[in-house]
Amino acid sequence: MYDAVSSLLESSPRLAAFPDGSLDIFSRVRAADGSHLSKAGLRDRLTGARSQAFHLEERVVEPGGQAVNAAQQAYALGDEIRLDACLDHHRLDLPFESYSHGQPSRVHIHEFTDGDLLYVSISEDVAGWTPESFETLPNADGYFCANWVSVDGMTGALYTLAGELDGNAFVFDPGDLTTADPDAVRGLADALATLDDGIDTALSVNRRELVGFADALGVEAETAVVRHAVGISTVVVHEAEAAYAAHADGTTIVPNFDIDHATRNTGGGDRFGAGFLHGLAVGADLDAALALGNACASYYVATGETGTKDDLLEFVDGHPTL
């Protein structure tokens, strides 16, 4: 399936990404002696007798938000991308077509050796999206929609969009819904099913988010079961070891790349969504679309950079899969 990545990158579909938008501040958490802490190390220091002095090494401030991350990946692939998000900040001056809906959120990402902790201050403009806000969306071959957990009006907006979109695919990443109200998640599932009547819809989540979705629906946390319960075309789980997709013809599994060291742990899933959407938008087989999604995510996790076409082709050729 990775042999197909090269041919997928020959096309440049028209894509749209929305909503959210944030300013992301990445900081490494260090102990008093300067060592880079793990989350377990932090816990030990908080509960033990060792020094509880910590230092934040602010490393980078950059554009963020799930839709923004996906749009940056689509742009790097050479796609014609349009981003609708809250972008009113000089650091969110992006090199592609965009429409701003107000002030971005702020996300502090504390980087530990064994993963990240995120602290989010959600902008009122992000939370306050309404169905009317989505009237600015352009016609596109594919759509990436994300961060349902932060946008109060998104479920209603999905109903509004149902029947109005003419593209090939709609990829939906709800964000971390593990603590969301179960009734709200069930309402989201109904909206996605309605949307799927007009455009093939894929729910894209990690394993923990799949469990949260399944728990709200009262079903087993398996891709095929959740897909049937929601009533949509595809459910995808993207994990470090593989991407798993349940669809009308069964289940597809595409092994991921063997990464020695993770430079970034936050943002890979959004790059996966953009690569996966690119594949679907150009009419690729599901396994090829998943392969491109894996390549985009793994390159970002390994390097901390959003991969261009040339970057990804070199990466695919030079890295073994698991």
Q: What is the largest CA-CA distance in the chain?
A: 61
Written as one string, the DSSP assignment of 31-87 is: ETTSPBPPHHHHHHHHHSSS---EEEEEEEEEEESHHHHHHHHHHHTT-EEEEEE--
The whole-number pLDDT of residue 288 equals: 98
The whole-number pLDDT of residue 51 equals: 62
Q: What pLDDT, in 10s, does the model give residues 105-163?
A: 999 999 999 889 999 999 999 999 887 888 889 999 999 999 999 999 999 999 999 98
DSSP code of 135? G
The whole-number pLDDT of residue 130 equals: 81
The whole-number pLDDT of residue 146 equals: 97
The whole-number pLDDT of residue 50 equals: 61
Q: What pLDDT, in 10s, does the model give residues 4-48?
A: 999 999 999 999 999 999 999 999 999 888 889 999 888 887 787
Q: What pLDDT, in 10s, does the model give residues 62-85?
A: 999 999 999 999 999 999 999 999
The pLDDT of residue 257 is above 80: yes
Q: What pLDDT, in 10s, does the model give residues 180-221?
A: 999 999 999 999 999 999 999 999 999 999 999 999 999 999
Kindly list the structural domains of the chain, giving each domain's residue range(s) and its CATH number in brackets, ordered by start.
2-23+64-104+124-318 (3.40.1190.20)
DSSP code of 257? B
The whole-number pLDDT of residue 88 equals: 97
pTM for this one? 0.94
The whole-number pLDDT of residue 43 equals: 83
Answer yes or no: are the C-beta atoms of 322 and 257 closer than 8 Å.
yes
The whole-number pLDDT of residue 54 equals: 81
Average pLDDT, the chain: 94
If one compares 223 and 59, the residue with the highest pLDDT of the two is 223
Q: Which tokens sit at 92?
A: 């969110």
> Is the preceding peptide bond at 19 cis, omega within 30 degrees of 0?
yes
Q: Which tokens sit at 239?
A: 């994990």
